[in-house]
Chains A and B, each alone.
Chain A
Amino acid sequence: MLALLWRAVRWRRATSLAVLAASVVATAAGTLGPLYARSAEESLLRQRVAQAPAVQVGLTVEAQLGGPGRLTGDMSSDPTTGQVGPPVVADAARAVAADHRLDRWFGPPSAFVELDSTSLVLDGGSVAGLAQPVWLERACEGLQMDSGTCSPGPGQVLVSRRTAQTFRLAVGSQVRLSLAARPLRVAGVYADVAAAEAVWGARSPIQWTEPRQPDDVLKVDAVLVARDDIDDRTLGGAAGAYRPLRRDTILLSTTGPVVADVAAVDRDLRAVGGRPAGAVRGVAAEDLPPMTLTNQITDLLAEVAPQRRDLRGAALAITLQLVALAWFVLFLVVATTTEERSAEVALAKLRGLSLRRTAVLALAEACVLLLAAAPVGLALSYLVVSRLVEGVLQPGTSVTLDRTVWLALAAAVVGGLVAAALATARLLTAPVLDQLRRTAGGRAARLRGVAVDAVALVLAAEGVYLLRTGVSGAVALATPALLALAGGLVAVRVLPFVARLAVASTRGRPGAALFLAARNLARRPAGSRVSVLLAVAVALAVFGVQEWRIAQEARFDLARTQVPAAQVVHVAALPPWALAEVVGTVDPEGTWAMAAVSVDGTLAVDSPRFAAVSAWDPAWVGTTPAGLARVLRPPVDAAPVTARDTLTVTVDDALPARSSKTSLGARLIAPDGTDRVVTFGALARGTRDYTVRLPSCADGCRLLRLTLDVDPFGDVQPSGTVTVTRMSDAGGPVDAGLSAPGGWRLARTASLTLDPSRVRPQDVATSAAGLVLTVTDGTGPAAEPADHPADPPAVLGDRASYSPYDSGSDAPTVRVAGLDSTQLVVTATGRRGPLPVVGRAGALVDLRNAVDSAAERRWSEADAQVWLSPAAPPDAVRRLGAAGLSVRGVDSLAERQAVLDGDGTSLALVLYLVAAVAALLAGGGALLASTYLGGRRRAYELAAARLLGARRSSLVAAGRVEQLVLVLLGVLVGGVTGAAATWLVLDALPAVTGGSEAVRAYGVRWPLLLAVTGAAALVAAAFSELGARRVVAAADTGLLRQVQA
């Protein structure tokens, strides 16, 4: 039997090869999805773990340190007795963290002690600022030294390069910290480096923070001290141990064990009250402060779980479609080749072979080829996924043949066997005479065909209904195949009717080609199955390419919204305009760097630089880059008022006599962007000059505000006016616009921002006499020059909801978060859309306007950023650091794009793209096989036609027309249904375009659609031409010597 089978396979080489190829495609299709899905899940996990901050995935065992009485609760206790020294606490934490159960997942522990910040006193007695004393067990591994040693001994410290440069310290210099009675010698200077996760975890010695408020104190970078010197029991703080996660150990197969091990250690620690099992350095466990174990790996894995689920579901939906298509291809190929085998099967029946033996004869070749193809198909999909892993997934991701893959392979083989069995079923059930006479199936076969069509139509309709009513996920991704199948079946049912109409019109024409083609198409051509298959293949391809491309664009747009420049450098907070000034010194031309500050949903940008630097597209809010700058920072007529060194004002105090002190003050902004608040002192009745010195204003400070304050505790709260008639500085008169109409206005203080009913614009007015400030019942106004917009313009997110502000004007004004701790009144420009950084619920304002309009000017803890364009020099970040900015971190648009490219939906769509390519190849292969292998059936009738005198050229032309109609019909239906599916799925599967964060509406990409459909049509047409020529060439009249039964 096997020998006979082998002979049969070799005898029908072309057929066997076609069946083998179709079988390889079927098994590859069935295993591609599961193989890729597992690797993609692994990649997703790896990416999340790799990008997770150290604090999220590292393991920390930590105890709080008490100052005097903190642990005992007795504030009067001797601070040197009853307390455990910080180093011992650190050792205890280290002992807990060193649990062997964690060795598989975490690196070696390193202990640390971080005390509360204390004054760093320089050798001359001056205070440099606040510094945090820190001891770290493995400091040398985490620091890059500028000079000196990395391991301070007793009485020695390490300072940062910035501290050393700012305060002119070097190795050998002396400083003092409160934790040591004697001076400490600088033993080493460490460079400003980012935290080394393996040693520091989330901690960083880089802590430099400039004072934002006038009464703030400078905080310098951490001072590293020796272990012996950190034993200060008067300061609070924390001591503990940190173990970094071995990120490459977190795989799909290890997520369970790592969570279990961490939970077990944590559980054991809690069971003993958070203390180690035994004494540490002679200190009993019960004397040690309680420790807590912190690790968020479980939370991280829980975050990833939904995306992993979605990925698996998507892979299943895609695999089902692809493997169904592959089975269809296999069915088609086997069905096409049954004509060759019909006589053998009839012979077997004639010989009286049982149904079982006849079925074996009919199916054996296909089964053997399918089984032989299984390992080849698996190898092919393994190869494809391996390439995808290299190109798309996280480095190091493995391709694993797990149980799911083997099950999928088995299912693909079984499905292929079923497809082959269905294709050969007619051979087994057809009457012997019909097989011998090659007559078509009867009414029963036609009814079966109608039933199949009806089922497909119902499934497609149900799929569309489910999509439109909100069911998404796997149903959504299965839509293209269902729609294309339904469309293809309807089209091939309609085609014969249309062809019949063409028969009449082509009957009388010269040349028989069109008539023959119309006749063949009218009688339900055997090639209709190829049309349906091409429709499904092209629809899958169109859909896959479209969705992938749209998702890619959406991810790029989303990335540009989240990281709106090539690089976004996060720096330690400064006064906002000071940040802009520093950036201005680094990039004077404004071509590659821009300051930005984000706080509580408000993003303030240096508008003139926006166009050159930002990658975010202002078209999303309906304007151009230059237009946006004009919108956010409209030109104002008035020039800024500046004064150098001193400021003298001539004031006519016309207030009635009072006991309440009335004083005039001024706020200015220095060239470095920091504020200067000065007071002219108490006013006296009558006209006098008042002069104040302006510190650090030798180059001119800009006048922001004049304030008139009345002592609220006075007996009489006066009402009346104070007029500023003249202003001058050290250089002479200052043109402050005191008499210019609209030159000054009421400044919006915090209270007026909160309660617009208290706004009295008339309290500030310019007149011929000068700037008139009206005091009402003891309340004096603040006045500002009109050198910036009163309520700065803002672009709001399209989902922003801000409370309106009645500013008394017609312009729509709302309150948004200001850069200080108060609200900022802005004028909504009417342009709305997804905003950079702050998203769809935020507000975008100009930085300078926001600074000028700030009510309180106590700057918030904001996210200070410097955006860098692609034109930034390679050492741009270093230049920013050298200019005095303390870099906290850098986000890159490319990295953000990579992160988004690695999410579940993106990875699923990559599979769809691969499936699209595979579908096109399968469709093309099936067309080729059908054309070549099915030609024999047509050859007889063409031979008869030639015998009757039909010319070869006419037959070729007829075949060409017929094939072109069939394949182009399939391609057209596929293109249309693929586009329709794209449109439907975009609505139903919002994750494709970013879900609720989608930047804009996305639609069908018509050029791409035309390109894919056009390419498919060209290839299909070429195959058809080859097939038509080949069939006619094989239509030799000698075929007719075979006498029919």
Chain B
Amino acid sequence: MIEYIITVLLIAAIYALFSLGLNLEWGFTGLINFGHVAFFAIGAYTTVLLNLSGVPLLLSVIAGILLAGVCGGLLGIPTLKLRADYLAIVTIGFAEIIRFILLNEEWLTGGPMGVHGFSRPFQGLIQSDYNFFLLQVVLIVLVVCYLLLEKLIKSPWGRVLKSIREDEDVPTSLGKNVFYYKIQALVLGSMIAGLAGSLLAFYLQYINPRNFMPVETFYAWIAVVLGGSGNNRGTILGAIILWSFFSGTRFAQVYLPFSPTQMGALRILFIGLLLIIVMMFKPEGLLGKKEELTLEK
């Protein structure tokens, strides 16, 4: 049972980190990124492939973070000068391109069979339950990222992002280079997703393209919207609720008269219902501020 709780917390914490990246982009800057999972995948694959070719683990993780950030920046350059909806469409396409590369470039990525056999941090030194150790690592990373993001968001830098979220004509008329700030948000958000991807690989020990389906992006969206767009604590809470629910219903499987396939469909149905109810009674999300509601009535 305790191992099970550790696993649930581990997944929730990794997705919380992943969702924090999206919250920076959408919650604070108003960028609609529907391909966040691409950077999750880039972080995970870069880390494990470099490690398998002999690069030390820490360097591999850093390379994964940097490559995710570079890809975010390259994607932003042609799209962020356009209207918000273009970024949404381009990011969906980008995420699918990445997934198809992972699926088809077998010489590099192992194709549908994926990659395994890479090392995990301090693997040899941990005598007890490795997941418990990994949970501590992930929690430390999550807390550090949370504190850094909070510091940035509460700074004048964060103020510029929020002004862009509401009406980019205002910061523009006051001399702020809006495009440059959007790129920064997208790069930073993608780097956080890349880091979360490395951690996911360490947890799974075996990664393949099915871990990076488009729906992963929308799990992050659910966490952000549920917890409250533009609220980092809310995002973490949203991720914990979402993954506790997913795992809890898996646990309840034995007591319910549904097949696993039916349960899978029911889970999504209930998440949808939960979102609708939250949006009806608390449209700003669980911890969001009503006055900062991003979507107007």
Pairing of A with B: no
